[in-house]
C-alpha cells in the first residue's frame, strides 16, 4: 500500500520546498547585508596581511592573526596540519553538508611595494611583497564564514564550515599533502577564492590556460680543488648543472608545444677559484595532464643523470611541489555565477580609476582602468593551451570545487611582481574583497540549504569529471613538505618588515599609517 503514502508525502513535500526557496532568498539578502556590516574588518584583514608580506611556508604572522580572529569568533582551530607549521583548519558547526573555503596566503619574493602608488616604490627594498594579491583572500573567506556562522546559529541551519589556508601556493607546495593527510575526506563542497581583476568563475578546464606541474630540485655533488693550481683534481658540480640545462634546452624543441618548463640555479658555487663541489638547479615542469607531466619529470631525471655521467659527479633530486591541472565543478560554478550577477561589480571611485590608469600607463600596459562589467559563465575552451598552475588542482580532483575570481586588482598587469601589489591595500582591494565575500557566503547558502544541489555537484564529479580520469598523487611515500624553503629570505627582511606592520588600533587604514595620499601618481609633464 505505497501509493497513498506517496501522495501524502508529495503534498507535504511541496510547501516545504517552496518555503525553503523563499527562505534561501531571504537569507541571501541578509547575508549580503551582514557582509556590508563587516567592511571595516574586511579592510583590516586585507591591510594587515599585506603588511606581513610573508613568503610560502613562512606565513607565521598571517596564520596567527587569521586563526586568532576565527577562534575569537567561536571557530575550532587545529594547527600544524599535514606536517606543515603554518597550515591549519578552522571549523564551525556540525553535520552535513561540509562546506570548505580555501584561499592562498603567501607572497612573492622582491615584490615589496607601497600601496596606492602608481610607480615602483618598495616599502622595504628587496623584500617580499604581495605582488600577486594573496593578502585579500582570507578577508574574503573569513568575512563570508563569520556571516554564515551568525546565520547558521540564528536560524539553526545544519552543516559544517571549514576554512583552509593556501600555504605556499607560489611553490605549489602543500595541497597534495593536504589531500594525502585526508583533510578533504569528509568535505562535500569546496569554495576556493583567488584575487583577479575580473568577477568570474568557470568550470571544467575553464579557459584552457592552466597546467599541472612538478617542481623538482636537482643537487649535483662533485669534488673541490684549486681552480688554477690543480683543476684536474676537481669535479665541477656546476658543469653538471650547465650541461643539464643545455641538454634540456636542446630537447625542448622536441617536446609538445603545450609544455612549459623553466628553472633557476639555486646554487652555482662559491667563488671562481674553487671548483664547485656542490651546485643545484630548480625546475618547474608543466604539462596538461598527469601522464604528460610524469613524462617530463622522468625526462628531467634522465637528463640530470646524463649530466652527472658526463662530469663524473653524482646527482639526487627532491620533489618540492606538485599540482594537478585544476578542473572545476559545473553545478557549483552555475550557482556561483548567479550570485556574482546578484552581487554585481563594486562601484569604483575616480581615485580608484586614476590609480589603475596611471599604473597601466607606467608599465606600458593597455590603459583601460578597472573592469566595470561581469564576465558571463563561459563554455570551457575546446583546446587547452596550458599556462600557470595552482595546487588547488589536487583538491579539485578529490572534491567538487570552484574557484571564484573576485575583482580586487587592476587589469593588464604582468603578475608575480610589484605592479600587482599596487592596488592590494587600497579601496580597490577592500571593495573587491567585500564583493567576493558576498558571493562566497551566498554560494555556501545555496549548498547548505539545498541537499539536492550537493548531490548534483557530486553527480557531475563522478559521472563527468572522474569518469575516465582518476587522481593519483605525484607524491611518493617518502616526499615531505619543503617547509624549510624561504626561511633565510624571510629572516633577512623580518626586522625591517616588522617596523611597517599595520596597526589597526591606531590607523583607519594602512594608507593612512604610511601617510600615502591616494592615489599617488606621477605628475603629467
- Provide CB contacts within 8 A for 158, sequence distance 6+: 93, 94, 95, 96, 448
Q: Which 122-151 residues touch Zn ion, going by CB under 5 A?
A: 132
Q: At its nearest, how many Å lie between Zn ion and the CB of residue 45?
A: 17
191: burial class by Cβ within 10 Å (0-12, 13-18, 19+)? buried
C-alpha cell at 373: 562589467
9: burial class by Cβ within 10 Å (0-12, 13-18, 19+)? exposed
CA atoms within 13 A on the CB side of 142: 33
- Provide CB contacts within 8 A for 125, sequence distance 6+: 112
24: burial class by Cβ within 10 Å (0-12, 13-18, 19+)? middle
Identity of the residue, 151 or 195, whose beta carbon is nearer to Zn ion in the bound complex: 195
Query: Side by side, which strands form the sheet with 260-267?
Result: 260-267, 278-287, 212-221, 314-323
* CA-only gyration radius of the chain, Å: 25
The DSSP secondary-structure symbol of 462 reads I
Identity of the residue, 34 or 394, whose beta carbon is nearer to Zn ion in the bound complex: 394
Taking a C-beta distance cutoff of 8 angstroms, is the pair 280, 308 a contact?
A: no
Identity of the residue, 194 or 371, whose beta carbon is nearer to Zn ion in the bound complex: 194
The residues that bridge with 136 in the sheet, in sequence order, are none
Residue with cell 634546452: 249
Q: Report which residue's Cβ sits closest to Zn ion.
A: 132
Q: At its nearest, how many Å lie between Zn ion and the CB of residue 27?
A: 31
Residue with cell 517552496: 18
Identity of the residue, 59 or 132, whose beta carbon is nearer to Zn ion in the bound complex: 132
Q: At its nearest, how many Å lie between Zn ion and the CB of residue 390?
A: 6
Q: At its nearest, how many Å lie between Zn ion and the CB of residue 144?
A: 19
Count of residues interacting with Zn ion (CB under 5 A): 1
Identity of the residue, 105 or 183, whose beta carbon is nearer to Zn ion in the bound complex: 105
Identity of the residue, 54 or 132, whose beta carbon is nearer to Zn ion in the bound complex: 132
Identity of the residue, 27 or 172, whose beta carbon is nearer to Zn ion in the bound complex: 172
Identity of the residue, 132 or 188, whose beta carbon is nearer to Zn ion in the bound complex: 132
Long-range contacts of 503-507, Cβ-Cβ distance < 8 Å, separation of 24 or more: 504/44, 504/47, 504/48
Taking a C-beta distance cutoff of 8 angstroms, is the pair 134, 104 a contact?
A: yes
330: burial class by Cβ within 10 Å (0-12, 13-18, 19+)? buried
Q: At its nearest, how many Å lie between Zn ion and the CB of residue 173?
A: 13
Q: At its nearest, how many Å lie between Zn ion and the CB of residue 291?
A: 26
Q: At its nearest, how many Å lie between Zn ion and the CB of residue 457?
A: 24
**For residue 473, how many other CB atoms are within 10 A of its CB?**
17
C-alpha cell at 12: 507535504
Q: At its nearest, how many Å lie between Zn ion and the CB of residue 342?
A: 26
Q: At its nearest, how many Å lie between Zn ion and the CB of residue 348?
A: 23
C-alpha cell at 366: 593597455
Identity of the residue, 132 or 239, whose beta carbon is nearer to Zn ion in the bound complex: 132
Identity of the residue, 134 or 292, whose beta carbon is nearer to Zn ion in the bound complex: 134
Q: At its nearest, how many Å lie between Zn ion and the CB of residue 137?
A: 8
What does the alpha-carbon distance between residue 233 and residue 227 come to, in Å, rounded to a whole number? 9
The DSSP secondary-structure symbol of 373 reads S
Q: At its nearest, how many Å lie between Zn ion and the CB of residue 445?
A: 26
Residue with cell 616526499: 479
Q: Which 280-319 residues touch Zn ion, going by CB under 5 A?
A: none
Identity of the residue, 402 or 456, whose beta carbon is nearer to Zn ion in the bound complex: 402
Which residues contribute to the site for Zn ion (CB under 5 A)? Answer: 132
Amino acid at each position: 500500500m505505497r501509493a497513498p503514502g506517496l501522495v501524502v508525502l508529495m503534498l507535504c513535500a511541496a510547501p516545504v520546498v517552496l518555503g525553503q526557496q523563499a527562505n534561501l532568498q531571504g537569507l541571501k539578502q541578509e547575508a549580503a547585508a551582514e557582509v556590508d556590516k563587516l567592511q571595516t574588518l574586511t579592510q583590516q584583514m586585507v591591510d594587515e596581511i599585506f603588511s606581513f608580506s610573508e613568503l610560502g611556508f613562512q606565513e607565521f604572522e598571517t596564520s596567527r592573526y587569521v586563526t586568532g580572529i576565527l577562534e575569537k569568533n567561536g571557530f575550532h582551530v587545529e594547527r600544524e596540519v599535514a606536517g606543515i607549521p603554518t597550515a591549519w583548519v578552522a571549523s564551525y558547526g556540525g553535520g552535513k553538508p561540509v562546506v570548505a573555503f580555501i584561499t592562498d596566503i603567501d607572497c612573492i619574493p622582491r615584490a615589496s611595494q607601497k600601496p596606492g602608488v602608481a610607480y615602483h616604490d618598495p616599502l622595504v627594498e628587496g623584500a617580499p611583497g604581495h605582488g600577486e594579491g594573496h593578502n585579500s583572500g582570507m578577508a574574503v573567506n573569513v568575512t563570508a564564514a563569520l556571516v554564515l556562522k551568525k546565520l547558521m546559529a540564528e536560524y539553526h541551519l545544519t552543516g559544517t564550515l571549514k576554512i583552509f589556508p593556501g600555504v605556499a601556493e607560489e611553490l605549489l607546495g602543500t595541497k597534495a599533502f593536504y589531500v594525502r593527510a585526508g583533510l578533504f575526506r569528509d568535505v562535500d563542497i569546496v569554495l576556493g577564492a583567488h584575487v583577479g581583476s575580473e568577477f568570474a568563475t568557470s568550470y571544467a578546464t575553464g579557459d584552457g590556460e592552466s597546467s599541472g606541474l612538478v617542481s623538482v630540485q636537482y643537487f649535483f655533488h662533485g669534488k673541490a680543488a684549486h681552480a688554477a693550481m690543480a683543476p684536474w683534481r676537481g669535479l665541477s658540480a656546476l658543469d653538471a648543472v650547465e650541461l643539464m640545462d643545455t641538454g634540456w634546452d636542446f630537447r625542448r624543441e622536441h617536446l609538445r608545444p603545450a609544455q612549459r618548463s623553466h628553472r633557476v640555479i639555486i646554487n652555482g658555487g662559491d667563488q671562481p677559484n674553487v671548483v664547485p663541489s656542490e651546485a643545484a638547479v630548480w625546475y618547474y615542469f608543466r604539462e596538461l595532464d598527469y601522464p604528460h607531466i610524469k613524462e617530463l619529470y622522468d625526462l628531467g631525471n634522465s637528463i640530470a643523470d646524463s649530466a652527472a655521467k658526463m662530469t663524473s659527479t653524482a646527482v639526487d633530486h627532491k620533489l618540492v611541489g606538485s599540482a594537478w591541472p585544476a578542473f572545476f565543478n559545473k553545478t557549483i560554478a552555475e550557482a556561483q555565477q548567479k550570485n556574482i550577477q546578484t552581487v554585481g561589480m563594486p562601484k569604483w571611485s575616480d581615485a580608484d580609476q586614476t590609480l589603475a590608469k596611471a599604473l597601466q600607463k607606467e608599465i606600458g600596459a593597455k590603459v583601460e582602468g578597472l573592469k566595470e562589467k561581469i564576465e558571463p559563465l563561459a563554455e570551457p575552451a575546446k583546446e587547452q593551451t596550458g599556462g600557470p598552475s595552482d595546487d588547488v588542482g589536487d583538491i579539485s580532483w578529490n572534491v567538487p570545487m570552484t574557484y571564484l575570481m573576485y575583482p580586487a586588482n587592476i587589469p593588464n598587469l604582468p603578475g608575480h611582481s610589484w605592479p600587482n601589489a599596487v592596488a592590494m591595500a587600497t579601496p580597490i582591494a577592500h571593495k573587491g574583497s567585500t564583493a567576493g565575500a558576498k558571493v562566497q557566503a551566498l554560494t555556501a547558502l545555496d549548498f547548505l540549504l539545498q541537499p539536492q544541489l550537493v548531490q548534483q555537484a557530486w553527480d557531475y564529479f563522478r559521472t563527468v569529471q572522474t569518469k575516465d580520469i582518476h587522481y593519483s598523487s605525484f607524491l611518493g611515500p617518502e616526499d615531505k613538505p619543503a617547509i624549510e624553503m624561504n626561511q633565510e629570505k624571510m629572516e633577512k627582511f623580518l626586522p625591517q618588515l616588522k617596523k611597517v606592520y599595520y596597526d589597526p588600533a591606531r590607523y583607519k587604514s594602512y594608507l593612512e599609517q604610511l601617510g600615502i595620499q591616494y592615489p599617488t601618481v606621477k605628475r603629467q609633464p
